Amino acid sequence: MADNRENLEQALQQVERIQTQLSELKAKIQSLLGKETEFTPPDWLQDRLRVWKKILDKGGVVTRDKLYEIVDDEGYDRRGLGGFFAGPDSSLVEVGNDKIGIRPWAADEVK
């Protein structure tokens, strides 16, 4: 059951990443056509971006307790944290004893 949940979390993360890429591509095409556009990240991504930004504001690495504090402040359900760590290209990674770091691709998304 745990393996299946992890597979589903990975699949969801991939779908979300694809949705973002499609939205960005649509905005670029509309821009090329001379149409005014404004890219607004989907709700699920906005939540993640706020969490990632707070981690970056702390230097890109935080303690697990600090991560919990950040997600609590953002109203994020801790049960959803698994999605941040799912898959080989997860947005967050354990980098040491009780330390969590943000991956470069996720840091780039914040910018």
Question: Concatenated DSSP letters for 16-42?
Answer: HHHHHHHHHHHHHHHHHTT--------
- Rounded to 5 degrees, φ, ψ at 58 are -95, 10
What pLDDT shows up at residue 21? 80
What would the mean pLDDT of 48-67 be, rounded to a whole number? 93
Instruction: Say yes or no to pLDDT of 74 above 90.
Output: no
66 falls in which pLDDT band (50, 70, 90)? very high
Instruction: Say yes or no to pLDDT of 47 above 70.
Output: yes
Instruction: Say yes or no to pLDDT of 87 above 90.
Output: no
Instruction: Say yes or no to pLDDT of 3 above 90.
Output: no
Residues contacting residue 31 through CB under 8 Å, at least 6 positions apart: 37
User: Residue 74 in contact with residue 47, Cβ under 8 Å?
Assistant: yes
